[in-house]
Amino acid sequence: MLDVRPHIYLPVAHSVLRRLSPFLRAVDFALDWLLVDTGMTVYREGDLADSMFVMLSGRLRSVEKKTLIEEFGRGDVLGMMEVLQKKPRATTVLAVRFSQLARIPEGLLNFIKLQFPQVGFRLVQLLGQYYSSLHRRMPYPPATSLEGPGDPMNHIKNLHTIAVVPASAAVPLVPFTCELYHALSANLNVLRLSSQKVAAHLDSSVLEKYTLIIIPSKYRGRVPKLWECVRFRQADFRLMHWLNVQEDTCPLVIYECDYTATNWTRRCLRQADAILVVAMGNKKPHHQTLMRELLSTNQDGARTNKELVLLWPENTMSPSGTHEWLKDTYYSGHHHIRAPKRMFQWSSKKTRKSSREVYPVRDNEREIVDFYEKNVFWTVDFRSDFARIARILTGNAIGLALGGGGARGAAHVGVLRALRERGIPIDIIGGTSIGALVGAVYAGTPDAKVEKRTRRWFNWMTSLWRKVLDLTYAHSAIFTGAQMNKTLQDLFEENEIENLWIPYFCISTDITTSEMRVHRSGPLWAYCRASMSLAGYLPPLCDPLDGHLLLDGGYVNNLPADVMRSMGAKCVIAVDVGSSEETNLYNYGDSLSGTWVLMNRLNPWAKPLRILNMEEIQTRLAYVSCVRQLEIVKKAPYCSYFRPAIEPFKTLEFNKFDEILAIGYEYARKKIEELMQTESFHSLLVGDASHNRLHRQVSKNKVR
């Protein structure tokens, strides 16, 4: 109606303003509405903090000296703490995509506090929470030895829009977005939009870059050369407004791009908080370059975070060649998905030839959506690869952190068995020392083979002949490390970390630079070997990339739940199998005679005294920072701490694999049942069941 009778805008606006209170009119007068285009800055580091901002739409990024600090989405507030502290801006904030903000000047904030004093008290509370969070905040560990994608997942915070871009015409785009929609709907209300759906709701003209407006005949003489038509971007504005309404209605919107560089594709990329580039994993990257043409339609969106999704046939044993894809530095993360066969049943039905490639015809979108509504949307599989990527994208990932402890690490396998039987998925896995090995086996192996492969490696470690062959003059260590290398190479072959099905990391200690290393890419066997290299037993491993000397990660972080948290896990299950340090030691005063200690031990009638020897003292010194970190992990609210009763077993008792596994399994079964009773953990898997049924029944046509 407003399009037909635009003159009613003013009476309507006047009527609304008359009903506002004087206070709201004053606030409306003082507020500034800002439109920030992609790449433009809201404020720079060092600027005067004279106002705070509220995000209305779009996405902003806060950076400090080229380091990503945080990202902001719809509803977030930024710049408030600097205004309250009356300090200059600490970071630079720029727009990742076209954004709308409300600017609240400091004067307006003071006016509100005078009118409503309780606002001032609330701001003081927020300031106190901010400072307390600074004290609790753990610094993110140094980068891995081989720099790879997927730094701390700040880039997925508060996502509202996701654009899906095909890397080639072979990608089953509509089935992929339907699968993703199905997985995301487990936890929140999701809307899937395609060009066909938009054209059905509005009309096809909104998908054109310009709308032709016919000039009436009486004005044709007044506009020479333009009497036939005028190109005007009215349709684009209409489309943008409609999309903004959809984003306000639904917590998450999936934008399905076209196979060609259309105006709809450009609009999808401009609206996206994150972009999923979907490619076929079993085809070479140089054969899949369509996404470059599509991404070029929105050159301003270079800063938008892009995640690579590689689709593999369902029977694929292990991904390969991922490093070829990751040479493109603009990917901030990657995911491997075993695509169900149903996704490809429409691939060969209809195609259309263009000058360069064969593109699927989108006429069967209705048929595909009908199939998913009838056969898929009413089923649930929380352990599927699509469910995993959905939890990661929405910040609901479940992480498993496995600690170091030598042979006691067989308990990790028991925990994995208990998790599998209970149907609990693992979205991210990582560990230290033996935890790094068990985690790597799980990340790259179907569940049924984890125990078999891990048991085989434990059997190798019980071989006395291997140890004898590996002995050497103890210059750096008593073993050469060659036999350990061989067992790991036989176990993992030439696999790389980025080729694992599940996101994985392991921890090592860099004694060249005296820091912790987090490995998320590179040769799997080498970094597992580095993470398990006990000083004195094995020589440090020379990093394949930079030659730094790497030792056991247990010296700096024996249970890396904090690293798991920084990678985006909302709930972390941390399994501790480290040795328990005895604290009931004999108080011998301020001096100690070694001769007296020796005589006491030789005397059969003397009372046994617990006094540390030099080796034990050195070991405890090496693990001082690790013990402090462990105490922090135990108390962390995001962490579920598991500690099986494996104290009787020693670090090198690899021949007791089955016994230790059984203890870990029985302990984990009970702990998991307790964990499932907590609503916070249960909601990660099933979300709100009533919402799911209602959502799928009421909005049955929304996905279409």
Catalytically active residues are 433, 552
* Cα–Cα nearest to 179, from 337, 63, 33, 404: 337
User: What gap in Å lies between CA 382 and CA 387, rounded to an integer?
Assistant: 6
Helices 450-461, 410-422: inter-axial angle, 10-degree rounding: 170
H runs (alpha helix) in 21-116: 22-30, 80-85, 106-115
How far is 529 from 552, CA to CA, in rounded Å? 8
Q: Which residues of 615-639 are buried (b: 16+ CB within 10 A; e: fewer)?
A: eeeebeebbeebeebbeebeebebb
Contact present, 252 and 190 (Cβ < 8 Å) = yes
Distance CA 50, CA 38 (A): 23
Residue 580 corresponds to which tokens in the numbers above?
A: 């328990």
List, in order, residues 6 or more apart from 69 with CB less than 8 Å away. 62, 63, 91, 154
3-state secondary structure of 175: helix
End-to-end CA, the chain: 27
What radius of gyration do the chain's Cα atoms show? Answer: 30
Q: Are 411 and 575 in contact (CB under 8 A)?
A: yes
Structure-token pair, residue 232: 């005007």
Angstrom distance (rounded) from CA 389 to CA 311: 12
Which H or E element spans position 682?
Answer: helix 679-686
Q: Which two tokens stand for residue 202?
A: 């509005």
Phi, psi of 402 (to 5 degrees): -110, 125
The residues pairing with 67 across neighbouring beta strands, listed in sequence order, are: 64
Q: Which amino acid is at 683?
A: S
Rounded to whole angstroms, what are the CA distances from 425 to 153, 367, 376? Answer: 19, 32, 20
Of the candidates 660, 637, 530, the one whose C-alpha atom is nearest the C-alpha of residue 574 is 637
Q: How far is it, in rounded angstroms, from Cα 49 to Cα 291? A: 40
Contact 236, 198 (CB under 8 A): no
Interatomic CA distance for residues 141 and 430, integer angstroms: 14
Residue 613, token pair as written in the block: 């020897």
Give the Cα separation of 693 and 186 in Å (integer). 10
Yes or no: say if 267 and 294 are a contact pair by the CB < 8 Å rule.
no
Report how far residue 489's alpha carbon sits from residue 494's, in angstroms, rounded to the nearest whole number: 7
For 420, counting Cβ atoms within 10 Å of its Cβ (0-12 exposed, 13-18 middle, 19+ buried), the class is: middle
Strands 504-510 and 549-552, how do they pair?
A: antiparallel
Question: Which is it for strands 541-542 and 549-552: parallel, antiparallel or unpaired?
Answer: antiparallel
DSSP SS3 for 101: strand
The answer to whether residues 133 and 82 touch, using CB atoms and an 8 Å cutoff, is: no
Decide: 261 and 294 in contact? Cβ < 8 Å: yes
Place of tokens 């809307």: 191
Nearest to 296 by CA among 165, 433, 194, 421: 165
Bridge partners (DSSP) listed for residue 432: 507
**CA atoms within 13 Å, Cβ hemisphere of 655:** 3
CA distance 588 to 609: 10
